[in-house]
């Protein structure tokens, strides 16, 4: 059985009381000073949005508030919750730690020097070769993250009434989430580009899921 078919079987909705069509929007959090300074921030760094990040969050809200999301899901990290804060006056933010960024271990909170960059690239190269059980020293592996993403997707699957949902997560976590939803191997997670407030739209219909678009915040703003 193909990976895609396995994903569809594991994620498919029940046939009773299931939305005929569900839209899933996935967005990365806004900019933090760690992003700006190129300092590693994963699950172990609970950073806040900077002024640019807050502006990005407001822009995203302005461009998407008309969609009237049934549910909004955020990670347990402040930068995810603050990104969705403009929606919070109208919608509850549902916190799911499974949506947290990958734990980068010893790299957390550090600006990579030559040695850290070498260690980082060595692990990334192993991931590309399919050694997905490997993590950064003291951190998580892609398989670790995928396991918790599956827990979140089981919850999402059980929410049969929400026909339009918004998920705010983190760069690497989103790549792993998309691979899991679409039934693609994790070695292809690098196919998904991500930027602050860059978003993806997926449509689930007749027990099939497809990626409709991947756009940066700038693209969405220009098209509005």
Using CA atoms, how far apart are residues 198 and 219, in angstroms rounded to an integer?
A: 9
- What's the pLDDT at 21? 86
Using CA atoms, how far apart are residues 110 and 112, in angstroms rounded to an integer?
A: 6
- What's the pLDDT at 20? 65
- What's the pLDDT at 206? 84
The domains of the chain are located at 3-100+140-223
Q: Is the pTM of this model over 0.75?
A: yes
The domain made up of 3-100+140-223 has a fold known as Rossmann fold (3.40.50)
Using CA atoms, how far apart are residues 173 and 147, in angstroms rounded to an integer?
A: 11
The series of mean pLDDT values per 10 residues for the chain, 224 residues long, is: 40 44 96 95 97 98 96 98 96 97 95 90 96 96 98 92 96 98 96 95 92 95 85
- What's the pLDDT at 65? 96
């Amino acid at each position: 059985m193909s990976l895609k078919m396995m994903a569809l079987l594991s994620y498919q909705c029940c046939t009773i009381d299931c939305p005929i069509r569900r839209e899933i929007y996935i967005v990365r959090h806004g900019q933090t000073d760690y992003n700006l300074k190129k300092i590693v921030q994963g699950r172990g760094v609970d950073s806040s949005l900077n002024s640019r990040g807050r502006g990005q969050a407001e822009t995203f809200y302005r461009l998407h508030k008309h969609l009237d999301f049934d549910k909004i899901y955020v990670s347990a990290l402040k930068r995810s919750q603050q990104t969705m804060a403009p929606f919070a006056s109208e919608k509850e933010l549902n916190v799911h730690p499974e949506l947290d960024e990958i734990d980068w271990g010893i790299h957390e909170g550090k600006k990579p020097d030559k040695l850290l960059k070498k260690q980082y690239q060595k692990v990334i190269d192993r991931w590309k070769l399919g050694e997905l059980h490997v993590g950064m020293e003291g951190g998580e592996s892609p398989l670790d993250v995928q396991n918790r993403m599956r827990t979140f997707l089981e919850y999402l699957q059980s929410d049969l009434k929400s026909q339009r949902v918004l998920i705010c997560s983190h760069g690497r976590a989103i790549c792993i989430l998309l691979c899991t939803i679409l039934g693609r191997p994790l070695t292809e997670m690098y196919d998904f580009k991500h930027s602050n407030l860059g978003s993806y739209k997926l449509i689930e219909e007749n027990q099939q899921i497809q990626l409709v678009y991947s756009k940066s915040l700038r693209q969405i703003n220009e098209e509005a």
